[in-house]
Amino acid sequence: MADYKLWNALKDAKKYRWVELSHALNNESPYWSGIPEGSVELAKTVWDWGKPELECLIQTFKFPGQFGTHIDFPGHFIKGKALSEKYDVNDLIFPLVVIDISEQAKKDPRYAVTVEDIKAYEAKYGPIPDGALVALRSDWYKKWPDMDALSGIDAEGKENAPGWSLEALEYIYKVRNAAANGHETLDTDSSAVAEKKGDLACERYVLDNDKLQVEVLANLDKVQPAGAVVIVSYPRIEGATGLPARVWAITE
């Protein structure tokens, strides 16, 4: 019998756990308030059963690029930078690094991951590998689909959500040469950083440096901190600043 290396590799890969890292979407799923109402219309029937010409069902789907679990491309924040068509399929599979800040986020919902947090991870698991997707586990995904809970809106109307710091992003990209970052929250920046800077400065840094990011991830608590692989998939639509993504990890 023929011995096909990739078929054998797939058999081996299927012995591991495959973990869904994206949220399911429907017409009630939340999105950023700055996007106009009516921007989401999923599974609208435009050709129904019972037509004599062809017995089938056809639907249309309308949604913002930044909807649910999604990937952001550099052109989302930086005019003239790369959009969706720039990336090949081999740009969308990564070693997955999961930095756990869930305990810190319980104590301080505006917590920003530090370089010290990342160095503590590396002391335990080894250096972040070249080309990794570095994801922050905050357990914030458990608040989905409650938009107020995800934003952490308090009595004063302020947002309270954990996230990245500029120093941590500089470390993973300049020192460790990561390819992408991810998080379970709606935004890259912790609320404290965004408030101090008056901008989503962390997200702007990521995209200005031609990196990718995946937002609103789920189930990072079900993935090993080191050693997993993550795949990010999205429709092959050209000219997009971001797109809803199906994301999954292969983990021990």
* CA distance linking residue 181 with residue 187, whole number of Å: 12
- The residue ranges of the chain whose pLDDT is under 70 are 1
Establish if 36 belongs to a structural domain.
no
* CA distance linking residue 138 with residue 104, whole number of Å: 8
Find, among 217, 226, 212, the residue nearest to 93 by Cα: 212
Q: Tens of pLDDT along 13-49?
A: 999 999 999 999 999 999 999 999 999 999 999 999 9
C-alpha separations of 11 from 6, 136, 146, 207 in Å: 9, 30, 39, 36
Find, among 9, 38, 42, 36, the residue nearest to 24 by Cα: 42
Establish if 49 belongs to a structural domain.
no
Sign of the CA dihedral with 177 first, then 182, 183, and 189 last: positive
Establish if 47 belongs to a structural domain.
no
Structural domain total, the chain: 1
Buried b (16+ CB within 10 A) or exposed e, 162-191: bbbbbebbebbbeebebbbbbbbbbbbbbb
Q: The domain spanning residue 12 has which CATH number? A: 3.50.30.50
Sign of the CA dihedral with 189 first, then 195, 200, and 202 last: negative
Establish if 29 belongs to a structural domain.
no
Is residue 234 classed exposed, middle or buried when 0-12, 13-18 and 19+ CB atoms within 10 A define those classes? buried
Residues of the domain holding 94: 5-24+65-251
* CA distance linking residue 177 with residue 167, whole number of Å: 14
Find, among 131, 122, 149, 140, the residue nearest to 232 by Cα: 131
Establish if 132 belongs to a structural domain.
yes
Q: What six digits make up the tokens of 53?
A: 């010409």
Helices (DSSP H) in 86-223: which residue ranges? 102-107, 115-125, 147-151, 166-170, 191-197, 201-208
Q: Tens of pLDDT along 155-192?
A: 998 999 999 999 999 999 999 999 999 999 999 999 99
Establish if 43 belongs to a structural domain.
no
Establish if 231 belongs to a structural domain.
yes
Residues with Cβ within 8 Å of residue 112, at least 6 apart in sequence? 162, 163, 164, 165, 168, 189, 190, 192, 193
Confidence at residue 1, expressed as pLDDT on a 0 to 100 scale? 64
Give the pTM: 0.96
Residue pair 78/203 in contact by the 8 Å Cβ criterion: no
Establish if 150 belongs to a structural domain.
yes
